[in-house]
Amino acid sequence: MASRNFQWELLAAYLTLTLALIHLVEANSEGDALYALRRSLSVPDHVLQSWDPTLVNPCTWFHVTCNQDNRVTRVDLGNSNLSGHLAPELGKLEHLQYLELYKNNIQGTIPSELANLKSLISLDLYNNNLTGKIPTSLGKLKSLVFLRLNDNQLTGPIPRELTKIPSLKVVDVSSNDLCGTIPTGGPFEHIPLQNFENNSRLEGPELIGLASYDTNCN
């Protein structure tokens, strides 16, 4: 009987160690993703001083919030005097809900890998210097509620894939260089037109059944 109890205790200890190692690996991968962002940005010395890649758990870093399982759920770096570009490794933060990088001087394109953030609720990249097109892959973000990309230099059409996000409540793409027509389907039915203003090549709401989807817009 004592031997059997020892075996059960040994098995329980093994399972506990295995789960701990899994959490350690996950924490390390999230830390690697965040540090990739750190390397892609130029930041004032004090802002990301705590982002130390030698620390196992990024949940101790400033501007990072984690849940009770020590998975990263928020990155809050709005209005932090950042420049540089967005790292595609951000797409590895599987539990991220809020990506707040507004009011900086971030350049380059929006990585299509952000579509892997299945838990994302808020994507706030407004007031930067982002260029290129809005990735069509963002239509995969089925938990997204807030999409604010205004005051950048984005070009191309507004992806119709975004109309397939049922949770989407706020879209603001004003003050860019977008072209084509404004979607009117799905959640876009309730987005005010002012959220599309100051795009000189944007023609207005699409006419359902008439427009061929922005084929000449780039």
Give residue-wise pLDDT tens across range 138-158.
999 999 999 999 999 999 999
The answer to whether the beta carbons of residues 161 and 184 sit under 8 Å apart is no
The token duo for 138 is 């963002």
pTM above 0.75, yes or no: yes
The answer to whether the beta carbons of residues 188 and 164 sit under 8 Å apart is no
Which of 133, 152, 131 is CA-nearest to residue 198? 152
Q: What is the rounded average pLDDT of the residues 30-52?
A: 91
User: Average per-residue pLDDT in the chain?
Assistant: 88
pLDDT at 181 over 90: yes
The label of the residue with tokens 């599309």 reads 196
- Residue 28's pLDDT band (cuts 50, 70, 90): confident
